Structure 1
Amino acid sequence: MQEKRVALVTGAGRNIGRAIALHLGRAGLAVAVNVRSSQAEGQAVVDELTALGVPAMLCMADVTSRTAVQAMVEQVKAHWGRLDVLVNNAAIRHEAPLADVTESDWHTTLAVVLDGAFFCSQAALPLLVESPAGAIVNVGGLTAHTGAADRVHVVTAKAGLVGLTRALAHDLSPRGVTVNCVSPGMIDTVRRSSSSHAVPAHHAKHQPLLGRRGTADEVAASVAWLAGMEARFVTGQVLHVNGGTYLGS
């Protein structure tokens, strides 16, 4: 049995997911790094954690597959015997005008964001309830609250993640598991994109009060706090990390 608390971070090969994995590792947790297909990126994050003295493992799994997710959680259990923190970060951020969003775009985006978070939460539940401080942190997004052009599938998926967060908070609070959502705003990351369409509308219309983009590390710090021992009286909440771009609940 791993003595450290153990975290599983989905979509952890780059950008915010990578920062979350590293931040949790520096906070004293062992970390399972999930990627779907980018094995080299995932292994690089594991190597970074290992270099810091953090117990880490790579978990290759497609979060849209219930079978693959269950196997991933069993892999973590077999390796460490516990799971204390689940971070549902895996997402797709494809951009396209409404008329160009295909049925595949729609279903794939909702599958990664919503099915993935649901499958991972359900599979992890038996281990999370055994933890003295089980926590789920979902990573949402600014446009779930503001809306944005050319992202109907992404906005819908991220808004659904807020609903899932609140529903799970009700279901799991009697079992001692907290569930919260971190909603990043304009973050300085490098994103793959299959679209050459214009920059999303919220980038042009909404500027942070602090006058800059946030960093992946700033998002990761918020995730780590919600996953930590100091936030055990916080559940069902959305924590906005957007530099004052959006002031809301």
Structure 2
Amino acid sequence: MSNRRGTPLAGKVALVTGSARRIGRAAALALAEESAHVITHARSSVAEIESVADEIRAAGGQATALLADITDEAAVERLVEEIHERVGRVDILVNNAAIRSERALADLDLATFRSVYTVAVEGAFLVTRALVPDMVARGGGRIVTIGGVSAHAGAIDRLHVATAKSALIGFAKALAAELGDHGITSNLVVPGRIGGKRSATSGAGGRFAGDRGPIVNREGEPNDVAEVIRMLASPAGGYITGQTIHVSGGLYLP
């Protein structure tokens, strides 16, 4: 975490799904810097999310680490019950959890296709559906969903990822339309080619049709994406909803 600490999110609780590493971790740290109580989350890597939570606490912030398989409806219900018991509510939801892998169409089996879609889309749906009633009751909230440039630029060996991320475009817009009257914003943040350590299955970062690389001539960093999430979650982002915001250094130009 940086030494910059503000208080725009003091008293707010943020859940960042898939926050053990990379963009999820950076988002958790950024929201903690704004004084949100951050719930770090993973499906099974308890040591990693406890490490992120410990980093937040060491900098003077508040954090709670929770495990849950967000593709399991009963597990999501238990997660929300535990959140209610331990921190009371969620004001800010970052739907980040995803499986990113590379596999050519000829080698893409249905189980792999479904696993990617289920985590990214059904997981986001289940968590969002479970948390929105409390946001409605309190008169507001923020939902930030993490998309993927593969859904926009056409990715090689990532048909399954691009399909899932394409679904999230409509997901974020539909939420914005339905929940705006309740003071809840919903936006999609689309990272480009983000550097740093990747999982063993995620490949080299994606190859795109007509790929000429980012205009700014560098890979992005997780913090580049986290800064946009920070803004959307803050009071400064209160008049932004239903938008797809690309953080790609110009890799993709809408």
User: What interval of TM-score do these two structures reach, taking the shorter chain for normalisation?
Assistant: over 0.9
Equivalent of 1:241 in 224, 247, 250:
247
Task: Work out the CA distance in 2 between the residues paired with 1:199 and 1:91.
Answer: 14
Shift of 1:193: 2.7
2:158 paired with 1:155:
no
User: Share of identical aligned residues, percent?
Assistant: 42
Q: Which stretches in structure 1 are left out of the alignment for 5+ residues? A: none
Task: Work out the CA distance in 2 between the residues paired with 1:233 and 1:135.
Answer: 11
Cα offsets for 1:7-63 (capped at 9, x unmatched): 000000001100000000001100000100111111100100111111111110011
Residue aligning to 1:14: 21
Residue aligning to 1:227: 233
Amino acid at match of 2:164: A
2:220 paired with 1:191:
no
Shift of 1:132: 4.7
Q: Is the contact made by 2:156 and 2:209 (CA closer than 8 Å) also made in structure 1?
A: no
Equivalent of 2:63 in 53, 56, 70:
56
Equivalent of 2:180 in 173, 176, 190:
173
Instruction: Report 1:77-226 matches (<5 A).
Output: 77-194=84-201, 200-202=206-208, 205-226=211-232
Task: Work out the CA distance in 1 between the residues paired with 2:202 and 2:172.
Answer: 29
Q: Which stretches in structure 2 are left out of the alignment for 5+ residues? A: 1-9
Residue aligning to 2:7: none
Shift of 1:149: 1.0
Equivalent of 1:68 in 60, 68, 75:
75
2:14 paired with 1:4:
no
Q: Aligned pair in 2 of structure 1 residues 99, 178: CA closer, same or farther (>3 Å)?
A: same
Q: Is the contact made by 1:186 and 1:203 (CA closer than 8 Å) also made in structure 2?
A: no
2:37 paired with 1:30:
yes
Shift of 1:200: 3.2
Task: Work out the CA distance in 1 between the residues paired with 2:39 and 2:33.
Answer: 14
Amino acid at match of 1:159: S
Cα offsets for 1:50-80 (capped at 9, x unmatched): 1111111111001111111121122112112
Residue aligning to 1:41: 48
Give the TM-score, by structure 1 length: 0.94
Cα offsets for 1:152-211 (capped at 9, x unmatched): 100000011111001111111111110001100011121113377x76322982311111
Report the 3-state secondary structure (helix = DSSP H, G, I; strand = E; otherwise coil) of the residue aligned with 1:56.
Answer: strand
Q: Is the contact made by 2:13 and 2:38 (CA closer than 8 Å) also made in structure 1?
A: yes
Task: Work out the CA distance in 1 between the residues paired with 2:200 and 2:206.
Answer: 12
Cα offsets for 1:133-160 (capped at 9, x unmatched): 4010001111111111111100000011
CA RMSD of aligned residues (A): 1.8
Q: Is the contact made by 2:100 and 2:201 (CA closer than 8 Å) also made in structure 1?
A: no
Q: Is the contact made by 1:30 and 1:54 (CA closer than 8 Å) also made in structure 2?
A: yes
Task: Work out the CA distance in 1 between the residues paired with 2:156 and 2:24.
Answer: 25
Amino acid at match of 2:75: A
Q: Is the contact made by 2:193 and 2:206 (CA closer than 8 Å) also made in structure 1?
A: no
Give the TM-score, by structure 2 length: 0.92
